[in-house]
Amino acid sequence: MVSNRTKDEPHRLGHDVFLDEVHSFEFWFQAVEGYLSDHPYGCSRTPVVAEPEIAESARDGLITTLCNYCVGETAALEAASSMIAFAPNRRSKIFLATQVVDEARHLEVLLHRLEQLGVADPEAEVDLRANRSLLAFKRRLLELVAARDWESAVFAQNVILETMEFTVFSAHIELADPITAEVLEGIIKDERRHMGFGENDIGRRLMDAPHIRARLATVREELDPLVLDAFEETLDQIGVPRSERPDLGRRYLSSVTRLGFDS
Partner 1 sequence: MTDPLLEEEVGSEEPRQRFVLDETGFDEVPKKYRRFYRKWGGPTDTLAPNEVLCPVCKVVIRSTRELRVGDRVYCMPCMSRLVVAKSASGLLEAIVNYG
Q: Which residues lie near partner 1 (CB under 8 A)?
A: 5-6, 8-15, 18-19, 21-23, 27, 30-31, 34-35, 166, 189, 192-193, 195-197, 199-200, 203-204, 206-207, 254-255, 258
User: In terms of CB distance, is 139 or 258 closer to partner 1?
Assistant: 258
Smallest gap from Cβ 205 to partner 1, in A, equals 9
User: In terms of CB distance, is 5 or 120 closer to partner 1?
Assistant: 5
What is the amino acid identity at position 19?
Answer: L
Phi, psi at residue 2, to the nearest 5°? -90, 125
Alpha-carbon span 212 to 231, nearest angstrom: 27
Smallest gap from Cβ 114 to partner 1, in A, equals 26
User: In terms of CB distance, is 121 or 247 closer to partner 1?
Assistant: 247
Alpha-carbon span 190 to 194, nearest angstrom: 7
Smallest gap from Cβ 197 to partner 1, in A, equals 6
Smallest gap from Cβ 215 to partner 1, in A, equals 18
| Range 244-252 contact pairs with CB under 8 angstroms and sequence separation of 24 or more | 244/171, 248/167, 248/168, 248/171, 251/167, 251/170, 252/163, 252/164, 252/167
Alpha-carbon span 109 to 66, nearest angstrom: 10
User: In terms of CB distance, is 44 or 146 closer to partner 1?
Assistant: 44
Smallest gap from Cβ 191 to partner 1, in A, equals 8
User: In terms of CB distance, is 28 or 134 closer to partner 1?
Assistant: 28
**CA-CA-CA-CA torsion for 123, 129, 134, 135, nearest 10 degrees?**
60
| CA proximity to 161, closest of 144, 182, 179, 178 | 144
3-state secondary structure of 195: helix
| CA proximity to 83, closest of 178, 225, 75 | 75
Phi, psi at residue 209, to the nearest 5°? -140, 75
Smallest gap from Cβ 103 to partner 1, in A, equals 17
User: In terms of CB distance, is 196 or 249 closer to partner 1?
Assistant: 196
